[in-house]
Amino acid sequence: MTAYEELSKEELLELKSKLEAEFEEVKAQNLNLDMSRGKPSTAQLNLSMGMMDVLTSDSDLKCTEGVDCRNYGVLDGIAEAKQLLADMMEVPKDNIVIFGNSSLNVMFDTVARSMTHGVMGSTPWCKLDKVKFLCPVPGYDRHFAITEYFGIEMINVPMTPEGPDMDMVEELVSSDPAIKGIWCVPKYSNPQGITYSDVTVHRFAKLKPAAEDFRIYWDNAYGIHHLYEDKQDYLIEILMECKKEGNPDMVYKFSSTSKISFPGSGIAAIAASDANLADIRKMMKIQTIGHDKLNQLRHARYFKNIHGMVEHMKKHADIMRPKFDIVLNTFEKELAGLGIGSWLAPRGGYFISFDSMDGCAKAIVAKAKEAGLIMTPAGATFPYGKDPHDSNIRIAPSYPTVEELKLATEIFVLSVKLVSIEKLLA
């Protein structure tokens, strides 16, 4: 394939009119496709339908502690759900608290509590002139939305193939006491699918923050969301690593079963040191008398244990893998060598991250929309929605059917080609 940059103006114009004709053909089909949000498909949701039959009116609804799950009580979560999520999050059962249906909600509450009441006795952030968070980019838009909502200044830290640029993280965290946190999606990151390397995790655990209330927000949303059985990423467990390095309180770890059972109807948890959990419980016991124990019981009885969950995730992978293959194979066939975009092939998670030529991402997303394809808005993967290069686009292949995804990828590729040609001709 000849790189577009090497084509003459005449060749580019000729190619443009050919691609425009193809684009008009697709447009005429009046399609309505969505590759914007990382939602499981209907087929994936169907995998967990057995959970609906686990609890019936005849079921014994007492958890192992002997508490009737229909009633109030058990603030931390029932023992069997704690065990299941502790194993999923690779932490001791005593270092976990089960929350409600959303880990994002737990992250929001964690920032909110730090704003109003501080972290383990330190000054509430709302009383400080400036509070800052480090944001590895590209990253998860809803993380950035939380910190933006609370008026926290966000600082971009570039991602590398091994995780965030740790030279920059170390330098900033150790020199600026206004930096109180960093958003991390350490495994199969959103959107690049990158897993932090051993060196990166070691460097995180060894950080020497200028702020005593600095915390790593370790959102391990995709910890067991592999695409392949024979090619899986491995992530060092951060809680233990921080403890070993004498920094036991430096990390909050979040996760949920949203993309294992039902998003919005799963269970979420936080894992942290004893001291952090004691601090968290102070608010929690005012906030609630306890979360949905019937849902916890349903999850624990359905999956039985972590092995049941791992087996279940293989079924998700069987549905997800062909979809990732469609996008990646099409990119390889249609875009490789053209010099108009780059992408990574993740081994898990929910996304593929695409980088166009600088200044093209917004136009590509707009072009795709003309043909009926909704993409995540360009810029969403950066704080304040501002991608300094206007180049990153997040692709979420999970929700459309295989047939829809083939069409969607075709539209996307055509949009990339057309916008890139326009840029080169400008």
Residues that bind ligand PLP (CB under 6 A): 38, 102-104, 140, 185, 190, 219, 221, 256, 258, 263, 268
Question: Edge-to-edge strands of the sheet including 341-343?
Answer: 341-343, 352-356, 392-395
At closest approach, how far in Å is the CB of 265 from ligand PLP? 10
CB of 104 to ligand PLP, least distance (A): 3
CA distance 141 to 193: 15
Alpha-carbon distances of 315 from 229, 230, 256, 257, 308, rounded to whole Å: 11, 15, 18, 15, 11
Q: Is residue 93 within 8 Å of residue 83, measured between CB atoms?
A: yes
DSSP output for 244-274 = HTT-TTSEEEEEESTTTS-TTSS-EEEE--H
| The two structure tokens encoding residue 264 | 């919005």
For ligand PLP, give the closer residue by CB, 27 or 142: 142
Q: How far apart are CA 124 and CA 322, in angstroms?
A: 48
- Per the CB < 8 A criterion, the answer to whether 183 and 133 are in contact is yes
- Closest approach of ligand PLP to the CB of residue 174, in Å: 26
What is the DSSP annotation of 155-172? Answer: EEEEEETTEE-HHHHHHH
CB of 38 to ligand PLP, least distance (A): 5
Residue 263 or residue 400: which is nearer to ligand PLP going by CB? 263
Q: Which residues pair with 98 in a beta bridge?
A: 269
CB atoms within 10 A of CB 292: 16
Beta strands (DSSP E) in 17-119 are: 33-35, 96-98
Q: Report d(CA 132, CA 182) in Å as an integer.
A: 9
Neighbour tally for 145: CB within 10 Å: 15
Distance in Å, CB of 200 to ligand PLP, minimum: 17
Residue 269 or 335 with smaller CB distance to ligand PLP: 269
Q: Compare residues 225 and 417 and give the one whose CB is closer to ligand PLP.
A: 225
DSSP 372: T
The two most distant CA atoms of the chain are separated, in Å, by 78
Q: In whole angstroms, how close is the CB of 185 to ligand PLP at the nearest point?
A: 4
Q: Smallest gap, in angstroms, from Cβ of residue 418 to ligand PLP?
A: 30
Output 254 or 331, the one with its CB closest to ligand PLP.
254
What is the nearest approach in angstroms of ligand PLP to the Cβ of residue 106?
Answer: 8
Q: Which of 23/144 has CB closer to ligand PLP? A: 144
Kindly state the smallest distance separating residue 377's Cβ from ligand PLP, in Å: 15
Measured from the CB atom, the residue of 183 and 343 that comes closer to ligand PLP is 183
Q: Is 136 or 263 the residue whose CB approaches ligand PLP more closely?
A: 263
Nearer to ligand PLP, 221 or 357 (CB): 221
